Each structure stands twice: as C-alpha cells, then as structure tokens.
Amino acid sequence: MRGIETLFKNQRSSDDFNRVAKGIYTKYKHDELCVKILLYIDKNKNYFNAHYKVKHTPGTNNLIESFNSHLNGRLKTIKGFESFKHANLWLNAYFIRRRIKNLQTVLESFEI
C-alpha cells in the first residue's frame, strides 16, 4: 500500500507515473493481489490523474484536511462564540465562502 500511496502522492508526468508503477510491479510481481491492483490502476490511470489537468485543483478531496490549518488559524483569533447557534452560523459561512472562493478560481481558469 505504501508503494501505491507514493505513486499518487505527487503530480507526476505520464512517463514518471509509469516508471514508478513499474518499480512497484517489479517489487511485488509475485503477489497476485498486488498485480491485480496495479493492472486496475493502469487501466484507469487517466481517470485517477485527470484532476492534474485543471489548474488550481486541490491535491486532496477532503475539505477538512485541506482547510484544517487555515481554520485553526482563524479560530485562534476568536475568543469565543456567543452561543452554539452563533458558532454554527460562523462555521457554515466559513465553509460556504471557502467553497465558493475555490470554485471562482477554477471558473476563472476556464475564462467562463
């Protein structure tokens, strides 16, 4: 699994992707399950790497992971919320703003 994680960890050219995948295959070619997984990845690699073709696309699809450090920085400056309702409203507004901001960046890259 670590080998596959390194395969997808960074943006790679097609040649580099194939080179790393071949290295993983060479290491685990006697493990039937690993070979099946690598064949599946090879068959669908255009889908797995399609997001690299769009500018400003985040490297992760996990919003919490992606914005966690920014959110922590914002929350440190706030001394507290008046109520749970106020905290809920603030967090909803924060996430809506972050989602719209990224969408606007992507749309601008397509010049829509």
Helix-helix angle 84-109:63-77, to 10 degrees: 130
38: exposed, middle or buried (C-beta count within 10 Å: 0-12, 13-18, 19+)? buried
* pLDDT at residue 74 greater than cutoff 60: yes
DSSP state of 10: S
- For 88-111, the pLDDT digits (tens) are 998 888 878 777 776 666 566 655
Residue 10: closest CA among 42, 68, 52:
52
Q: In terms of pTM, does the model score above 0.75?
A: no
pLDDT of the residue at 65: 64
pLDDT of the residue at 111: 54
- For 7-40, the pLDDT digits (tens) are 877 777 778 888 888 898 898 888 888 888 888 8
